[in-house]
Amino acid sequence: MRPSKIIGTYKSTCVLYGFPDLVVNLVSDSTFIYKMPYVEDIIGTWILKRDTLILYSDKFPTQPLREDTPAYKYNKYTDSEGNKDAYLVKGRKLYPVSRQRLVKSCYLQKE
């Protein structure tokens, strides 16, 4: 897959407080912007490895979050280890990749 094919804006199919629970804009210079309700925008870089999109940001927590973690610190969409999020790319959809499995609900749809 060519990286130029995935550039654009993707919105989650799941809603939080009346808004998509994640909107991500993938820019051609290999940067991205995450927008989540009630969380500060997150900026980082992305790479494409075969059919997997990997997003890196210094703002992503490197340690797993616990149940008592304040909601505003949940600024990653997957439970990938380290300061990254991962997605399986299937056409115009991005499926979150968990450490345990592929998540088929709450995928991101390209606008």
> Which CATH number belongs to the domain containing residue 99 in this structure?
2.40.128.280
Single-letter code of the amino acid located at 13: T
User: How far, in Å, CA of 80 to CA of 100, rounded?
Assistant: 9
Boundaries of domain holding 7: 3-110
Supply the Cα-derived Rg of the chain in whole angstroms: 13
**pLDDT per residue as tens digits for the range 4-61:** 789 999 999 988 878 888 999 999 999 999 998 877 899 999 999 999 999 999 887 7
pLDDT for res 43 = 94
User: How far, in Å, CA of 111 to CA of 79, rounded?
Assistant: 25
Number of folded domains that form the chain: 1
For the segment 97-107, the average pLDDT, to the nearest whole number, is: 74
Tell me if the pTM is above 0.95. no
**pLDDT per residue as tens digits for the range 55-79:** 999 887 766 656 665 555 556 777 7
pLDDT for res 88 = 92
User: How far, in Å, CA of 22 to CA of 7, rounded?
Assistant: 16
Single-letter code of the amino acid located at 35: K
